[in-house]
Structure 1
Amino acid sequence: MMDHAHDLGAVRGATERLLDAAGELDNASVAKASRLPGWTRGHVLAHLSRNADALGNVLRGLPMYASSETRDADIADGASRSAAEQLTDLRESAGRFLAAAAEPADWSRTVTLRNGVTDSAARVPFRRWVELELHHVDLDVGYELEDLPAEFVTREIAFLTERFLGDQEVPATTLTDRDGRTWSTGGGPPGALVTVQGSAVELLGWLCGRRDGSSLTVAGGPLPALPPL
């Protein structure tokens, strides 16, 4: 069962870490490439700000984005702003999201996200936490997957393996970390089973597309190719 209050606390902590990191950037640093292909750090920061507003919209029963084109245009337009403008937007949009989350609401209700995806309102804070943690890593400012909170790592592994579960394009796969925890994902073809072993961080890195999986031990076939997130 999702504990939205707990996750909102995690969002606050991750936001403060991100704001501290963004506060160290100058205009030249913001304009440098991030770890996401084709995106500068400015693109990542603009995306995080607009994502905060978008998830606030979701909590209020509004469309997440006006359209995919509007989403992309807002990120592109915001990418070239100064470091000070990025920091202000990041802080203020984060505050707006937390304000939306503080409004009285039924957290068991179903909400609609981007592309018609539905989920429980109680999972929205976790989704924001995911954005903050992984995109902090994408900024390439010294925050690495190894710096992620241990709770976040295991929960995001569970979230992503559930997301790919039943996908016929992904072989049936069992993941095991060094503490013996296991997760299952994929869905086809019948009779095939790939096993993937490694540290929790490396498993997460592969699942979320931030590592190539070369450090993982794979048996039963090649390391599966995963759909883009």
Structure 2
Amino acid sequence: MIDPHSDLRSVREATERLLTGVAALDSAAVAQPSRLPGWTRGHVLAHLCRNADALVNVLEGRPMYVSGEARDADIERDAPRPLAGQLDDLRTSAARFQDAGSAPADWERTVELRNGVTDRAARLPFRRLVEVELHHVDLGIGYELEDLPKDFTERETEFLAQRFTGAAGVPPTRILTTGGEWRTGGAEGPGVTVSGTPADVLGWLAGRRDGAALETVGGPLPALPPL
């Protein structure tokens, strides 16, 4: 069950972990490559800041971004900032998101995100939590998929399994970890069972790991569409 207020608390806690990790860096480290192709750590941090403001826009009934081009330009503009500027923006943008999320709202209303995607307003805090947690890992500063809270790992695994349900070219797939069991993929063809640690399964589903550590039965590891 989605509880936006509980998720807002989780976002606050995850943001504090992120701020603590980033504060241990220096400006030179911020300029170094992240784990995301073509992005420095500064790009990741800039994206997190602007994503917070974009979700405030959605909560308050405005378009998430003016345009895709404007979104990309904002990230490029903010990526080269020194550490102090990144930290200040992370704190203040996170606070704006918390303030917007704490305002009285109809959490059952439908909101529009990027590219025409719609969702319940109640899911926005969890969407922000995904951004903070996974991009913290993407920074490559010592916070790994294994460090993610157990509840978050299970919820994001379930979300991604649902996302790939019915995906063209993905066989019927049973996913097993110590945290649970999920099904994804299409309905045609022989089924495949994929098993591994919660971190390795989430890494595969989220495009953060290649799945080499996973075990498969019934066929090769399915190739997943890009997120």
TM above 0.5, one fold?
yes
Q: What residue number does 2:197 align with?
A: 199
Secondary structure of the corresponding residue to residue 221 of structure 1: coil
Query: 2-side partners of 1:50 and 1:127: how far apart?
Result: 14
TM superposition score normalised by structure 1: 0.97
Q: Which residue of 1 aligns with 2:79?
A: 79
Q: Which stretches in structure 1 are left out of the alignment for 5+ residues?
A: none
Is 1:224 aligned to residue 203 of structure 2? no
Aligned length: 227
- Percent identity between matched residues is 63
- Please identify runs of 4+ aligned residues in structure 1 that moved more than 4 A: none
Give the match's secondary structure for 2:119: strand
Of residues 167-176 and 31-40 in structure 1, the stretch that sits farther from structure 2 once superposed is 167-176
How far is the alpha carbon of 1:178 from its aligned partner? 2.9
Aligned to 1:160: 160
Tell me what 2:208 maps to.
Answer: 210
After the TM superposition, which residues 136-175 of structure 1 pair with which residues of structure 2 at under 5 Å, given as runs?
136-175=136-175
d(CA) in 2 for partners of 1:74, 1:152: 29
**For 1:118 and 1:209, how far apart are their aligned partners in 2?**
22
Equivalence for 1:95: 95
Return the alpha-carbon distance in structure 2 between the equivalents of residues 58 and 225 of structure 1.
32
Query: Offset at 1:201?
Result: 1.1
Work out the CA distance in 1 between the residues paired with 2:213 and 2:140: 21
Amino acid across the alignment from 2:75: I
Partner of 2:29: 29
Partner AA of 1:199 in structure 2: T
How far apart, in 2, do the equivalents of 1:168 and 1:192 lie? Answer: 14
Q: Is the 8 A contact 2:108 2:120 kept in 1?
A: yes
Aligned to 2:186: 187
The answer for the alignment partner of 2:113 in structure 1 is 113
Give 1:4 shift.
Answer: 0.5
Structure 1 Cα separation of the partners of residues 190 and 58 of structure 2: 39
CA distance in structure 2 between the aligned counterparts of 1:222 and 1:76, rounded to whole angstroms: 39
The answer to whether the Cα contact below 8 Å between 2:167 and 2:225 also exists between their aligned partners in 1 is no
- Which residue identity lines up with residue 222 of structure 1 in the other structure? P
TM-score, structure 2 length as denominator? Answer: 0.98
* 1:66 equivalent in structure 2: 66
Tell me the distance in 1 between the aligned counterparts of 2:96 and 2:141: 25
Taking the aligned partners of 1:152 and 1:227, their CA distance within structure 2 comes to 22
Q: Which residue of 2 aligns with 1:39?
A: 39
